[in-house]
Structure 1
Amino acid sequence: MFHIEPETSRDHDEVEWLYDTCFAPGREALSSYRLREGVPKVAELCLAARDDDDILAGAIRFWPVLVGGTRALLLGPVAVHPTRQGEGLGALLMTESLGRARRLGWHRVMLVGDEPYYRRFGFARLDGVDMPPPTNPDRVLGLALQEGAWLGVQGEVTRIL
């Protein structure tokens, strides 16, 4: 059983350790991290999952960005501790956080990831959305949280200052 709650300052160091554990060294050099620098995360959507022993098992974060001047959420990173993978926690974090985003009135969310994995949550390739290099355009995916939210939204992805 997992308990999913908004990430707090108590969770911060453990979440950073989890991301370091799950992702390759140098993860902060990726273009998506440049979009996050100096920008507060969307706190009500950043979730930490703990097991019954209060051990951090997974986490997900979201950041506001602009796509051609239109507001969107940038999802990521999402991580599940290697010893807890295969238990459905990643899917649980995804569906819980996306449901919260929808209820909070967000219209669109994007991420950089593997389409075969994220397709099951409704994500599809975003044509005409340009992430900073060196991002592979085939990995730029989006989900409309409200019908038609990505229609006509194109351009460069930039930080909200």
Structure 2
Amino acid sequence: MITIVNEALEHFSAREVLLDQSFGENRHLKTCERLREGRLPVFAYVALDERNSLVGTVRLWMVKDEAGLSSLMLGPLAVSPNMRGLKIGDRLMRHALNQAAVHGHGSVVLIGDLSYYARFGFCGGKLDRATLPGPYERCRFLGLDLLPGEVSLLGGMLRPSGDADGKPKRLPLIEAQDHSMRV
């Protein structure tokens, strides 16, 4: 059985090992890292197996465009190589996106493969007015509306948000549920 829980300090080392295994030691050079470095995520979840070993991770970070419109940047998402194919990544994604919606966030953006992320509603072409700090493949810059039309409103260079509390500027539509779930 896999359990999804809020990431905690005791998960840090195992998470770093998993990310190195999944993305290589040069992962800190990626463009999205410019939006994450030195900051805390708004949402951070890990998947634990029956021995409480970390087997998956996902985080969401607050970013804003040049006009101050906020969005969440998803990443990284990673699953332990020996656990791939068991839908742990799907479960982490669905949990993270559900929590983002429950807490009133309007959109999520990421750099990734459309063939994987389309199943969660992400698509290309909605971010034609937005850019990222550094090199990236434009076809991999994907967006998801949690509220209708939010992604296409983003414009200019996305940058780390100054929102210290990571809360959106609108009230959530639904009260938050328990942040852990068994899958």
Band the TM-score falls in, shorter-chain normalisation: over 0.9
Query: What corresponds to 1:89 in structure 2?
Result: 88
Q: Which has the higher contact order (CA 8 A, sep 6+)?
A: 2
Query: What corresponds to 1:11 in structure 2?
Result: 11
Greater share of strand = 1
Unmatched 5+ stretches in structure 1: none
Q: TM-score, normalised by structure 2?
A: 0.83
Alpha-carbon distance in structure 2 between the residues aligned to 1:31 and 1:87: 29
Query: What corresponds to 1:55 in structure 2?
Result: 53
Unmatched 5+ stretches in structure 2: 163-183
State whether residues 48 and 58 of structure 1, in contact with CA within 8 Å, keep that contact through their aligned partners in structure 2.
Answer: yes
Aligned length, in residue pairs: 159
Alpha-carbon distance in structure 2 between the residues aligned to 1:67 and 1:2: 36
Identity %: 36
Structure 1 stretches of 4+ moved >4 Å: none
Deviations 1:43-72 (A, max 9, x none): xx2101001111111010111111232111
Alpha-carbon distance in structure 2 between the residues aligned to 1:135 and 1:51: 34
Q: TM-score, normalised by structure 1?
A: 0.94
The 10-residue stretch of structure 1 (129-138 or 92-101) with the greater mean CA deviation from structure 2: 129-138
Amino acid at match of 1:55: S
> What SS class does the counterpart of residue 33 from structure 2 fall into?
helix
CA RMSD of aligned residues (A): 1.1
Deviation at 1:157, TM superposition (A): 1.0
> What SS class does the counterpart of residue 150 from structure 2 fall into?
coil
